[in-house]
A = this chain, B = another copy of it.
């Protein structure tokens, strides 16, 4: 029943008209990659997602997975769709050609790919997204024999990967995990412990699964600095006994590697995405990266997943919007307050009503702003690999800054937008038949995954702002101030540039306040963090809208560009003003929170 078209024209606009994506990755090893190839990829993946993934999405929700005797079986339709993705190479866009991947830039593989995949079938999309995360950690930090053995099949999708962090008593606070790793003489380890909330921890989509497991090896310090990262396969390669896997075959020995799944959570949504309790019982694992140095690696993967999770908010918000819009064009209730529009029909369609337009535009305009920021961030991630420090350093600074904002703000907006779109559809929105209620349930996990949005806000306010003597923020403020300055005297830009300028000034003042007060009282920073993150998100989306408006002002008269200008106006008049209230809340400080007696909650 649901409709969805991949927003190809939107990406074309962002890639080629707003950001000059191809130019911006020149000299970064993507020599064969040009605008035509990018367009082909976008259309090809959009088509695959629509034709292969979208049709199984509702089935995944209704049928879901089956957990029995420690095994999880997925719907046959999911296995078929996943196999088609392997065969056509769509799961490996991010991986290096040497491992059989496409090696395309991040702004496609982590942005466009993630958005389309999530819109079409979020429950399926997280499986390859996790595998790619494991692939990246492994290929940048792993022993060569492990890379050679595991990377190509992770890249193609033949092998699935997971990340195992959380334990029953330790989620946000990883310093207190109890999973142990005991070293063996051959250089491998034996891992024992229980992990929970492991997405695709067990399933029958692939013959084998490799887990990246956080565990504590003997001799390490307390807390997170004593954590190491281990690669633990569900089935061991044959002849692994040498301690390594160099040159050995992909035959599997029949026994498990002591890795068992003892449960699968019943969840509100994502019914076709397993969430497992995983037990490691003396399981063979290999160290990845330095001993007691697992956390930075896990953060490397986590940061990628945080971007991907943010884009999940966008992906579900986009398909929810498209369905609410289709509904509002068909549904006829009441008349335009200023006169009958369709006299031959018993009522006008609901798109004539200001409040329906308000809801749809909030959805559309936030989606388009988020997509722009996501594309820019994708480009910056690619630029982090530049040999030129003048490219790499600001890119790294901005990615550090944007990651928690994208994760938190995009998923907050994603949940709000799915709710708004359900509201446009009234009672139908609440009924399973019309699809949006699934998006509303599925998207909700994105505010929790990869560190709750509260944790993201603390990462932003307590770490990313002050990191390296405030360098991250300076790398944003320089180009942003320059942009505002350049447009100050262009009259047509005034309606976008002025509120942006005000917002940036406000952001600077609030940042100074948070830092100054936070030095004496860390509760001040923590109390304002969530509102600060949302304020910051609005300023960044304001920057994106001003930037897009600038491009479109030169192309007025064509409906696409006129509509973008109308979107920019809506953003600054109807969404952006929430910053005023956020500032007031931040300024009120932690007193009302911390003075409240704990026993009186």
Which residues of A are at the interface with B, using a C-beta cutoff of 8 A? 166, 169-173, 176, 196-197, 265-269, 275, 325, 328, 332-334, 337-338, 346-347, 351, 353-361, 364, 415, 419, 422-423, 426-427, 429-433, 437, 440-441, 444-445, 447-448, 452-454, 457-458, 521-523, 526-527, 529-530, 559-560, 562-563, 566-567, 569-570, 573-574, 577-582, 584-585, 588, 590-601
Contact = CB atoms under 8 A, between A and B. Distances in A.
A523 B337 contact: yes
A441 B347 CA distance: 32
Contacts of A595: 566, 569
| Dominant SS among interface residues on chain A | helix
19 contacts: A173-B332, A267-B430, A268-B430, A275-B431, A353-B526, A354-B523, A354-B527, A358-B527, A419-B444, A430-B448, A441-B441, A569-B591, A573-B585, A573-B588, A574-B588, A574-B592, A574-B593, A577-B585, A577-B588
Contacts of A275: 431
B454 A356 contact: yes
B423 A447 contact: yes
A172 B349 CA distance: 12
Contact of A422 (B170, B172, B444, B562): B444
A504 B527 CA distance: 28
Contacts of A453: 423
A431 B338 CA distance: 48
Contact of A454 (B422, B423, B521): B423
A448 B423 contact: yes
A170 B333 contact: yes
Given A171-B427, A337-B522, A596-B566, A601 B351 contact: yes
Contact of A530 (B197, B355, B430): B355
Given A354-B590, A354-B594, A355-B457, A346 B426 contact: no
Given A563-B596, A567-B596, 5 more contacts: A172-B334, A267-B437, A354-B526, A566-B592, A569-B591
A479 to B, nearest CB: 27
A350 to B, nearest CB: 8
Contacts of A427: 166, 171, 196-197, 448
A354 B585 CA distance: 13
A437 B269 CA distance: 10
A232 B597 CA distance: 55
Contact of A577 (B332, B364, B584): B584
Contacts of A529: 354-355
Contact of A584 (B562, B580, B582): B580
A12 to B, nearest CB: 16
The 3 residue pairs across chains A and B that have the minimum distance between CB atoms:
A563-B600, A577-B584, A268-B437
A355 B460 CA distance: 14
A293 to B, nearest CB: 22
A331 B469 CA distance: 34
A575 B325 CA distance: 32
A149 to B, nearest CB: 32
**Most chain B CB atoms below 10 A, which of A360, A530, A577, A588:** A577
B268 A596 contact: no
A423 B415 CA distance: 12
A171 B327 CA distance: 14
A429 B415 contact: no
A527 B355 contact: yes
B601 A364 contact: yes
Contact of A441 (B166, B268, B360, B429): B268
Contacts of A585: 573-574, 577
Contact of A268 (B337, B338, B432, B458): B432
Contacts of A432: 265-268
Contacts of A563: 596-597, 600
A356 B529 CA distance: 11
Contact of A333 (B172, B430, B441, B601): B172
A533 to B, nearest CB: 10
A526 B355 contact: yes
Contacts of A338: 521-523
A197 B501 CA distance: 49
A193 to B, nearest CB: 15
A360 B581 CA distance: 20
A452 B431 contact: no
